[in-house]
Amino acid sequence: MAQRHDFPPLRYVPGGAPAALADGPPRPGGPPYPGSGPRPYGTDGSALTGRTARDVLAAYLHHRATDFLRSLRAHGESGPDAESTREAARQLRSAARRIGGALHTFRPLTDERWADHLRGELAWLSGTLAREHAGTARLDRLLGALQRLTAHTDPNSPTAAAASRDTAEPDAAESLLSTGAARAGALLERQITLARTRAHSAALQALGSSRFHAVADAVAVLASEVPLTATADRPAPDALLPLAEQAHRRLAEAVAALPLARAGQAYNADALAAGSRQDAPWHQVRLLARLSRYAQEVTDPDDTDPRLAEAGRALERHRDAAEAAAAAAAAARTPRIAPATAYALGVLHADQRHEAEAARYVFGRVWLPAPEPGSSVRKG
Amino acid sequence: MAQRHDFPPLRYVPGGAPAALADGPPRPGGPPYPGSGPRPYGTDGSALTGRTARDVLAAYLHHRATDFLRSLRAHGESGPDAESTREAARQLRSAARRIGGALHTFRPLTDERWADHLRGELAWLSGTLAREHAGTARLDRLLGALQRLTAHTDPNSPTAAAASRDTAEPDAAESLLSTGAARAGALLERQITLARTRAHSAALQALGSSRFHAVADAVAVLASEVPLTATADRPAPDALLPLAEQAHRRLAEAVAALPLARAGQAYNADALAAGSRQDAPWHQVRLLARLSRYAQEVTDPDDTDPRLAEAGRALERHRDAAEAAAAAAAAARTPRIAPATAYALGVLHADQRHEAEAARYVFGRVWLPAPEPGSSVRKG
């Protein structure tokens, strides 16, 4: 835990806003949506009228900090029930991500040094807890895919019954896959279970560490007193909306750089051919979409855009499929595996890259068409 | 060549129409398209006005027989130039398929015993010649796919150059694929070349056989005198259109039984999961679409429906991808191959099943939506 000495203490030390903020938040001019037509992703802000930024942001952080502490308690009390432990960890990560997101988007209204440090610590915690969950989900996904790919070779499955009307004998691919799939599944289970066990130990160790206790203390402070600067005393629409808009604009710009026209053509075969090297911009958009959604939760708690959540889910599926494909490929590099096992892992790898391509296609369908220039998303 | 003694001689022996035909062709009543709205696949028949079925059918068969004989001569004269030999064989098969198709669709207007026999012999010839071509096309498709799948691992490719901006190191899947793809390609080349050499010998043997000479003689007869029955002396619209309609209806009914709603959902993952067992109805529709198109060539030579040709091309792509996937799987069963080779063949198999799924999707997009009941395609 040498690393934690690199950070300042997490307790809030009052301090003025940095000089750069004296001019107020960036790009304050103009109403958010001067144009007509379909509303882009962004912020309505009607819930902010008559309130200060401090009221709004403190209330949001207060609620998320309470969620964090409640799920932490639930996690400690959950005992041997794996399901309730997982659910508590999931809620803990959800609260940690939201606090971190709000501190990121509305950073100029906070003590930035404090906010940056807490954000880093929350990301560490959330990442540590996520690894165990990700292992479970990845194994479920891969074993589910293997089952789907070999369902027709099981004579008791409805698919097989329907298929057997066409041909009596399975073909070469099918019989090879049914031989290799069981071993591929066992190999993946062994490798991912090992990684998951390590992740579980790391999570337990993290939750018992003084570094974690410092994070929990800092979050407990948020539940009662949020360290905001004097800028936060301005009217909420003036102080919060431009910062939320900035989050939405960053997302829109990152989406504009994606090859959406290509991804919108079904069966473009890009995700398999290009491999994981071109996944990074999609992963980046997933993070920006999440920040945008959390910013909406602050400014429009009663009117968050369901398309944004749906687009985010498509990109989560993209990430999950891409990681599952990588796990299948990694398993295929195990020394001395049988060719049939390697063959099944190759089919599985391609299937998951295909799933990643499908997720990009869905994202393209869900994403609001780019608004006319000047009518909605303001360019910087 | 013992088989050829099972067939009657191919020379036309004049004979009356079978008794079943005395009532005329099936379902003669009603105009083809009583309804309004978009015209379904089918027949307009304006080119038939004032002609007898004999005039129309004899002219069509005369032209196709002339094509057959010309391409046969070209094939014999093509010498060592592989490209011109291939082209002559392609034209020979095309003419043979069209003659067979017309004899099938308009069978009640012909001496049926003679027509059925010639049709069988043309199918034998066309199938024998097709096997060599199919081997070449399959190898091209598989090596092309391997090249596409590994293009990003070649540092000189534009894809790789673009990708290298994202990450410096190839991931596990990519490096494994680039190791295995070369060996997989070599293995496929060896196996398919061997099969192609056998097909080439079989084609040469077939073209030198007395069985083939009998087919050529029978086609030569078609070029001057087509053995049709007295029914063919009826007006062409009355005698030909109901038979052409029957071909279009068979196609429409087979298409109606396809899982088109499912195939129309992009990325349904059916073709890989269900394997080749559920390909048969699609292959059947490919054959029926071809018969329907050839029937249109007889009844509407100047107005064949381009959508029908496009739908047919999608199903040819479906067939080619399905057969390429099977070849990849078959290669993966070669004893003692390296795991990396088997892995690359698994990726290739899944890629080609994905291509088959994409072809089904395209077919669903190209296919005309089913017309209203009673308005166009008459139900039997």
The shortest C-alpha distance from B295 to chain A (Å) reads: 28
Give the helix ranges, DSSP H, for B223-333.
236-256, 260-263, 270-274, 280-299, 306-332
CB A240 within 8 A of CB A299: yes
Number of Cβ pairs < 8 A linking chain A and chain B: 199
Tell me whether B168 touches chain A (CB under 8 Å). Answer: no
Residue B228 backbone phi and psi in degrees, to 5: -110, 160
Looking at residue A162, its amino acid is A
Give the Cα separation of B360 and B355 in Å (integer).
9
Residue with tokens 């209806």: B249
Mean pLDDT of all residues in B154-176: 54
Contact residues, chain B, for A187 at CB < 8 Å: none
CB contact under 8 A, A277 and B343: no
Q: State whether residue A259 sits within 8 Å of chain B by CB.
A: no
Helix/strand/coil for A312: helix
CB contact under 8 A, B266 and A267: yes
Which of A167, A172, A267 shows the shortest C-beta gap to B358? Answer: A267
| Among candidates A333, A341, A347 on the partner chain, residue whose Cβ is nearest the Cβ of B349 | A347
| Cβ–Cβ below 8 Å for B329 and A173 | yes
In sequence order, which residues have a C-beta less than 8 Å from that of residue A272 and are 6 or more positions away?
A350, A353, A354, A357, B149, B347, B351, B354
CA distances from A20 to A16, A24, A26, A67, B255 (A): 11, 8, 10, 33, 68
Chain B residues 69-88 within an 8 A CB cutoff of chain A: none
Residues B35 and B372 sit within 8 Å (Cβ to Cβ): yes
| Mean pLDDT to the nearest integer, B199-226 | 93
Interface mutation target, options A343, A348, A355, A363, chain B, most CBs of B under 10 Å: A343
- DSSP 8-state assignment for residue A171: -
CA dist A190 and A187 (Å) reads 5
> Which one of B153, B191, B262, B343 would you mutate to disrupt binding with A, by most A Cβ within 10 Å of its Cβ?
B343
Task: Please name the residue of chain A whose CA is at the shortest distance from the CA of residue B334.
Answer: A339
CA distance B132 to B309: 24
For residues B208 and B88, the answer to whether their CB atoms sit within 8 Å is no
Query: Cα separation of A216 and A130, whole Å?
Result: 17
Name which of B148, B168, B167, B171 is nearest B158 in CA terms: B148
Q: How many other CB atoms are found less than 10 A from the CB of residue B222?
A: 23
Compute how many other C-beta atoms are within 10 angstroms of the C-beta atom of residue A375: 14
Chain A positions in Cβ-Cβ contact with residue B274 (cut-off 8 Å): 152, 159, 163
Q: How many CB atoms lie within 10 A of CB A281?
A: 14
CB A95 within 8 A of CB A71: yes
pLDDT digit string, tens, across residues B337-358: 999 999 999 999 999 999 999 9
B332 closest CB neighbour out of A162, A326, A343 = A343
**Which chain B residue lies closest to A365 (C-alpha atoms)?**
B266
Q: What count of other Cβ atoms lies within 10 Å of the Cβ of residue B207?
A: 18
Among residues A141, A342, A171, A273, the alpha carbon closest in space to that of B274 is found at A171
Q: Among A273, A276, A340, whose Cβ lies nearest the Cβ of B148?
A: A273
Residue B113: the pLDDT is 95
Query: Tens-of-pLDDT digits for all 380 residues of chain A?
Result: 333 333 333 333 333 323 232 333 333 333 333 333 345 566 677 789 999 999 999 999 999 999 999 999 998 888 777 888 889 999 999 999 999 999 999 999 999 999 999 999 999 999 999 998 999 999 999 999 999 998 866 555 444 444 444 444 456 677 788 899 999 999 999 999 999 999 999 999 999 999 999 999 999 999 888 899 999 999 999 999 999 999 999 999 999 999 998 898 999 888 888 778 899 999 999 999 999 999 999 999 888 888 899 999 999 999 999 999 999 999 999 999 999 999 999 999 999 999 999 999 999 999 866 444 444 433 33
CA distance B364 to chain A (A): 13
Closest Cβ opposite residue B340 in set A152, A342, A353:
A342
Tell if the CB–CB gap between A349 and B351 is shorter than 8 Å. Answer: no
Q: Tell if the CB–CB gap between B329 and A280 is shorter than 8 Å.
A: no
Q: Report which of B91, B146, B99 is spatially closest to residue B118, judged by C-alpha positions.
A: B99
Q: How many CB atoms lie within 10 A of CB A333?
A: 17
Q: Does A340 touch chain B (CB under 8 A)?
A: yes
Contacts of B367 (CB under 8 A, 6+ apart): B255, B260, B307, B311
Q: Which residues of B touch A269 (CB under 8 A)?
A: 148, 351, 354-355, 358
Token pair 């166009």 in the structure block, residue: B376
Contacts of B188-194 spanning 24+ positions with Cβ under 8 A: B188/B139, B188/B142, B188/B143, B188/B327, B188/B328, B188/B331, B189/B139, B189/B143, B191/B327, B191/B330, B191/B331, B191/B334, B192/B135, B192/B138, B192/B139, B192/B142, B192/B327, B193/B135, B193/B139
User: Is A277 in contact with B164 (CB distance < 8 Å)?
Assistant: yes
Whole-angstrom Cα distance, residue A68 to residue B18?
87
Contact indicator for B125, B206 with CB cutoff of 8 Å: yes
Residues of A in contact with B159 (CB under 8 A): 273-274
pLDDT of residue A273: 83
For residue B36, give the 3-state DSSP assignment. Answer: coil
**ipTM of this predicted structure:** 0.81
Q: Average model confidence (pLDDT) for chain B?
A: 83
- Which A positions 350-369 lie with beta carbon below 8 A of chain B? 350-351, 353-355, 357-358, 361
Separation of CA A4 from chain center: 25
> Rounded to a whole number, what is the distance in Å from the CA of A224 to chain B's nearest CA?
43
Tell me the whole-structure pTM to 2 decimals. Answer: 0.82
